[in-house]
Amino acid sequence: MADPMRIRAQMQGDKAVVRVLMSHEMETGQRKDSAGKVIPAWHISEVTATHNGKPVLSAEWGPAVAKNPFLQFTLKGAKAGDKVAITWKDNRGETRTDEATVS
Amino acid sequence: MQNRRETLKQSLAVAGLLGATGLFPQHAFAFNRAAFDAKNIADAVKAYGASAPVESKDVSLTAPDIAENGAVVPMAVASTLPNLKHLLVLVEKNPNALVAKFDVSDAVEPNFATRAKMGQTSDVFAVAITKDNKAFFTKKEVKVTLGGCGG
C-alpha cells in the first residue's frame, strides 16, 4: 500500500521549512467494527528525516496522531538544492521513504 | 498465590524492561511502548526518564481554542530552552495521553507542528525534556465540539 508522501521544503531566510503529508490510515485500536470487534491499532510509530543523508530528526508517534499525518519542522543551515528525505515506519513494520529537494 | 492484578503488573514490568532494551520482538526498533501506553502525563514523561514536569514560559504550544473536528486538531510545540532532548505533545483525556515525541537535534529548530486526534475537550500539554532530564510543560485547553456546527 502506502501512497507517496507529499514533501515540500522551502527556504525562509537561512532556514528551510519542511512540510510533510504522509498517507496512512492511523487506526487507533479503540474503534470497533460493525461486528463489535476491536479494529487493531495500525499507526506510524517512527518518523525520521535526513538532510543530505545526515539524520536530523527522529520522532515517535502514537495512534493519536491524525489520519494522513502532517508534520512540519524547520531545518537549520539548509540551502536550495539540498535533499531532504523522510522515512516512516508503522507498527506493522511497513516502511516508506520519500525525498524532496529544498527550493 | 498470585492474583490477576499482580500477574498483570509483573508482565507489564517485564514488557517495559524488554521495550527499554529493545528486545520486544514486535517492536524491535526503539519505540517507547511504555510512554505511549501511559494513561496520564506524568507517567508518559517518566517513561522518558525525566523528572516531574514544571510549568514554564519557555515552552509554547499552539492549538486552537475550539476544534470543530476532534479527528484533526492542528497543534505545534516549540521551546526556547537550551539543551533540549525531546519535545512531547500530550492530550490529557485521550485513552493514551502521549501523541507524539520529537527528538531535538542541532540541525532542526525546536519547533514542530502536526495534527492530532482528540476524543473530547481536554487540556493539551507540550512538554520539553532537557538533556539533564528536567521536564517543563505548558498547557492549553482545547474544546472539541461534537455537533460539528462550531461556534
This complex has an ipTM of 0.85
- The C-alpha of A6 sits at a distance from chain B's nearest C-alpha, in angstroms, of 14
Residue range A33-91, pLDDT digits in tens? 888 888 888 888 889 999 888 889 888 888 888 888 899 999 888 888 888 999 988 88
Whether residue B2 sits in one domain with residue B63: no
B107: Cβ contacts below 8 Å, ≥ 6 apart = A51, A54, A56, A57, A75, A76, A77
Name the percent of chain B lying above pLDDT 90. 1
Whether residue B44 sits in one domain with residue B15: no
Whether residue B46 sits in one domain with residue B14: no
Which of A42, A61, A90 to probe by mutation at the B interface, max B CB count within 10 Å? A61
Sign of the alpha-carbon dihedral angle for B34, B37, B42, B44: positive
Whether residue B64 sits in one domain with residue B86: yes
Whether residue B3 sits in one domain with residue B69: no
Task: Tell whether B91 is covered by a domain.
Answer: yes
Put simply, the answer to whether A91 touches B27 (Cβ < 8 Å) is yes
On the question of pLDDT at A32 being above 60, the answer is: yes
Instruction: Report the pLDDT value the prediction gives residue B135, as an integer from 0 to 100.
Output: 86
Whether residue B140 sits in one domain with residue B84: yes
Quick one: how far is CA B104 from the chain centroid? Answer: 15
* Structural domains in chain B (count): 2
Helices (H), A31-85: none
Instruction: Report the pLDDT value the prediction gives residue B148, as an integer from 0 to 100.
Output: 46
- The C-alpha of B124 sits at a distance from chain A's nearest C-alpha, in angstroms, of 12
B14: Cβ contacts below 8 Å, ≥ 6 apart = none
On the question of pLDDT at B7 being above 70, the answer is: no
Q: Which domain holds residue B119?
A: 39-144
Q: Report the CATH number at residue A84.
A: 2.60.40.10
Supply the mean pLDDT for chain B: 78
Kindly state the cell numbers that stand for B83: 539543551
On the question of pLDDT at B30 being above 60, the answer is: no
Instruction: Report the pLDDT value the prediction gives residue B106, as an integer from 0 to 100.
Output: 85
Give B24's pLDDT tier (boundaries 50, 70, 90). Answer: very low
d(CA B69, CA B121): 11
Kindly state the cell numbers that stand for B67: 476544534
Task: Tell whether A18 is covered by a domain.
Answer: yes
Whether residue B78 sits in one domain with residue B22: no
A96 residue type, one letter? R
- Cβ atoms within 10 Å of B54's Cβ, excluding its own: 9
Give B129's pLDDT tier (boundaries 50, 70, 90). Answer: confident
Interface A-B: count of C-beta contacts within 8 A: 107
Q: Which domain holds residue A26?
A: 6-101
